Structure 1
Amino acid sequence: MAAKFTHLLKLSVGTETVDDLAAWQATAHDRWPDGQPRHVTRMWPKREAEILAGGSIYWVIKGFVQARQKVLRLEEVIGQDGIRRCAIVLDKRLVRVEATPKRAFQGWRYLKPEDAPRDLSGARAQEETLPLDLQNALADLGVL
């Protein structure tokens, strides 16, 4: 029987494109000794074992799930304020996924594997993303 796993869903606040997210994460070597990108959050996921059993973090950018990264591990980080936080350590590789509309939400959410957008394959992964207004129009029509 395959291991039960789950994913995380998170807004990429302040990011306009997947390339913006990649560029910001490329500076991880300035912030973390191992150079792996991290997302630091106040809450520790209660479903840690399921996330670490094969889960990814799916990034919502400008109202659409557009990319994912494999979650490598969770680390405790103590902020300058003395508060314990969770650093979600991510694979450096960003995988583009089929753009899927998603309304804004606070924090992160769990995402069942069967509800996760599919990875874009081959040449499609290199395609430019559609302009936001066109993505919204196609989503309203049920095409995206």
Structure 2
Amino acid sequence: MIHIVKLCVGVSSVEELEGYRDERAHWWGADYGEDVHVHRTRMMPRRGSEIEGMASIYWVMSGTICCRQPILRLAPYTDAEGKDYCDIIMAPDIVRTVPYPKRPFQGWRYLRPEDAPPDMEAGGSDNSAEIAAELARMGLL
């Protein structure tokens, strides 16, 4: 199994991402007829068989991995101009993770399970994510 880490460009918070999850599939005409969140990217992962139904996409916002979404499957897509893309079809569930600093990069990268930040504990206080993010920025997490 291998995860994917991706910059969440134009989205500054987990709450904002949650607001987009119902709309994004329709932006590209990628309606898979179910309750899913779709992200279109240029390249199809070569290690797709290690990702589909087993891994997550970890989202980087403001220089920090903040959350993840389980990847259900990958679907090829070709636009009207003949350009190939990959639709990453994810569960709509957004799971907050312990914030982990991540430098900017282009595209997406593989993320080994042992390098992935753990999920935040359910039922934590409202400001626990903010405290963890500040500790991560200080290099203490």
Same fold (TM over 0.5): yes
How far does residue 81 in structure 1 lie from its aligned partner after superposition?
2.4
For 1:29 and 1:50, locate their aligned partners in 2 and report how far apart those are by CA, in whole Å. 23
Closer, same or farther: CA 29–139 of 1 in aligned 2, 3 Å: closer
User: Which residue is 1:84 aligned to?
Assistant: 84
How far does residue 56 in structure 1 lie from its aligned partner after superposition?
0.4
User: Which residue is 1:16 aligned to?
Assistant: 12
Closer, same or farther: CA 29–12 of 1 in aligned 2, 3 Å: closer
Q: Deviations over 1:29-85 (max 9, x none)?
A: 644242421111111100011112511000001110000011000111122322111
User: Which residue is 1:6 aligned to?
Assistant: 2
| Paired residue type of 2:136 | A
Task: Point out where structure 1 has 5 or more consecutive residues left out of the alignment.
Answer: none
* Identity, % of aligned positions: 38
Closer, same or farther: CA 89–33 of 1 in aligned 2, 3 Å: closer
User: Which residue is 1:37 aligned to?
Assistant: 37
Q: CA RMSD in A?
A: 1.9
Closer, same or farther: CA 86–61 of 1 in aligned 2, 3 Å: same
| Paired residue type of 1:79 | D
For 1:139 and 1:122, locate their aligned partners in 2 and report how far apart those are by CA, in whole Å. 19
Alignment size in residue pairs: 135
How far does residue 141 in structure 1 lie from its aligned partner after superposition?
3.4
How far does residue 139 in structure 1 lie from its aligned partner after superposition?
3.4
Instruction: Give TM-score scaled by structure 1 length.
Output: 0.85
How far does residue 27 in structure 1 lie from its aligned partner after superposition?
1.5
SS at match of 1:130: helix
Q: Which has the higher helix share?
A: 1
- Kindly report which structure 2 residues correspond to 1:67-82, keeping only aligned pairs within 5 A, or say none: 67-82=67-82
